[in-house]
Amino acid sequence: MPKLTYNTAAGDLTIGGVAMNGPAWKVLNLYELWQPANVRGSDRIIPGSAGVVAYQRRATVTVRSLQMLISGTHDRTGAAAADKFEGLQANVDYLIANVVVPTGATDGTRSAVLTMPDGTTRTEPVHVLGLELGDLSLDGGWAKAVLELSIPTGRIV
């Protein structure tokens, strides 16, 4: 498998300064971050009356799952790995250390910068909840993964 290729036609993403699209890994469903926030709130039931009293809804924390492909053939700089399994391990370890592990500072969030297809950028703090590996190629050339983000304000705006 050659190093991963990508284009920014559908946008781009960095988390804590780490580019999430490059020769070692890429996000496959960046459009997940375009969706509206979840909402919280409920209406009030009036006993003995038909219907409810409507109350305003507000945006609330929203969790988004980003599908990723992580390469074992190249590192984040584009250098070829001598061994695919070792390269895959190194790339996963880098993502864990620099994107996933809680920051331990302030509120524990990392800055996410979403570049939209029109070139505008949107920045919002996010919590990275985890990185879960899925399917792995038999030769260690790649692994599928899911990176889970929690967006306190509901969406990256």
| pTM for the structure as a whole | 0.90
Is 7 part of any domain? no
CATH of residue 88 = 2.40.30.200
Its domain, for residue 138, covers: 12-39+54-151
Is 30 part of any domain? yes
Contact of 132 with 141, CB cutoff 8 Å: no
Residue range 116-139, pLDDT digits in tens: 999 999 999 999 999 999 999 999
Residue range 91-115, pLDDT digits in tens: 999 999 999 999 888 899 999 999 9
Total of domains in the chain: 1
What is the distance between the alpha carbons of residues 138 and 140, in angstroms, rounded to a whole number?
A: 6
Query: Tokens 């945006």 correspond to what residue?
Result: 59
Is 84 part of any domain? yes
